[in-house]
Amino acid sequence: MRYKLFGKHTGLRVSELVLGAGNFGTRWGHGGEPDEARRIFEIYAEAGGNFIDTANGYQFGQSEEILGDLLAGKRDDFVLATKFTMQTDPGSGILATGNSRKSMISSVEASLKRLKTDRIDLLWAHMSDGVTPIDELVRGFDDLVRAGKILYAGLSDFPAWRVARAATIAELRGVAPIAGIQVEHSLVERSTEQELLPAGQALGLGVVAWSPLGGGMLTGKYRQGEKGRAEGLGGRVFQAENSVQRTAILDTLIAVAAEVEATPAEIAIAWVAAKGSLPIIGPRTVEQLKNNLSAVNVRLSSEQISRLDTVSALPPVFPYTLLGNPENRDGFTGGKLDLFDAPAQVVA
C-alpha cells in the first residue's frame, strides 16, 4: 500500500485505502462479529493500511468499542477518525445530536471512552444539521484541538458552500483548519463532482470517498441474487440498479474487469482512487477485504477510464452549462481560448 498526504493543510501521511469500520459489530442486525473484525483489522494493517474511519453511532457504539480493543498497544500506528452529529443509540436525545458545541463535546468525550484513547486524530462532523452556524462549528473544533482531544477536523456530507465558508473562516482567524471532507463518490454517484470535489481540490482539503462500490451494487453480486445491504441495512447506503444508465455502467465495469483480469469491485475502487480521493472500503468479511485491497494493484488505462467516465456521466448543471460553453469560454479569453494554457488545478 502507498501513502499520501492528507490534503495541503496537514503533514499527515495516510494509506491510499481507508478502512471503514461501519461493519465492526452486529447491533444494527447486519455486520461482522468481533472476531471477524479483528481479522479484518489485522489483514488491513499487514497490507500497510493505517487510516481507520468510524463514527459514534456505527453499530450503536459497538464499532468504537471494538476498535478500542483492537488498537490497544498499537494506537500510534494508526490515524483514527470518528464522527459526531448522529445518534449514538436510540436513546440519544435532541441535545446529544446535531452540530452544536454541546453535542460535539459530549460526543467526543463518550467516543474517547469507547475508543480507550486520549485523543481522536480526525474528528468529522458527520453531516450538516442545517441550523448550527459554521462559526460555532469552527470554534468548537479549534477548542478541541487546543485541548488535545482531537488533532484534525473535517466535514462529512456538507454542502460545498458550507465547506468553503468553514475553510475560509478558519483560515482568516488562524485557527485549526478544516483538513478534509468526506463525500459519497462512485460510478453511480457522481453528483459530488459538480461542486464538492472541485471545492476540496481548490481549498487543499483531503478528500475521503465513502461507498465507492455503491453499497455493493458495483460488485455485480446483486445480479447473482445476493442480498447484502439491499436488505441487511433496510436499503440504506445502497444504490440500486434501477435505470438504463446504471445497467450500462455495470455492464461496462464488468467488461473492463475482464480485460484486466480483476473483479468489478477492484475496478470500481480503482476508478474512485484515480479521481484523487481516498476510497473507504467497508468490508463485512475477510473475503471482501482481500478483494478490496487488491484494488491498489489495478492500473486502468486512460481509454478504460474514459469509457467508465462516459457511460456514467451526468449532465452539467448551472452555472457549468454556461461556463463550459465554448463560445463563452472564447469570450472570456479574448478570442484566444485555443492559445491559452489554463492551469490543470482548479482555483478557489
- Whole-number pLDDT of residue 342: 85
Annotation says 58 is catalytic: yes
Give the model's pLDDT for residue 230: 59
Q: What pLDDT is stored for residue 223 in this prediction?
A: 86
Q: Which of 3, 44, 58, 320 is catalytic?
A: 58
- In the chain, where the domains are located: 3-328
Q: What is the model's pLDDT at position 233?
A: 61
pLDDT at 224: 81
Q: Give mean pLDDT in consecutive 10-residue pieces for the chain, a chain of 348 residues.
A: 97 98 96 97 98 98 98 98 97 96 98 98 98 98 98 98 98 98 98 97 98 95 74 69 94 97 97 97 97 97 98 95 92 91 85
pLDDT at 232 (0 to 100): 60
Query: How confident is the model at residue 214, as a pLDDT?
Result: 95
3-state secondary structure 13-42: EEECCEEECCCEECCCCCCECHHHHHHHHH
Q: Tell which residue, 71, 309, 271, 79, has the closest CA to residue 180.
A: 79
| pLDDT for the residue 226 | 74
pLDDT of 154 reads: 98
**The whole model's pTM is what?**
0.94
What is the DSSP code string of 244-294?
HHHHHHHHHHHHHHHHHT--HHHHHHHHHHHTT-EEEE--SSHHHHHHHHG
Cα–Cα distances in Å, from 38 out to 63, 73, 272, 286, 297?
11, 14, 27, 10, 24
pLDDT on residue 228 = 67
What is 3-328's CATH number?
Answer: 3.20.20.100
Task: With H, G, I as helix, E, B as strand and everything else as coil, classify residue 149.
Answer: coil
According to the model, what pLDDT value does residue 225 have? 72
Annotate 308-322 with b (16+ C-beta within 10 A) or e (fewer): beebbeeeeeeeeee
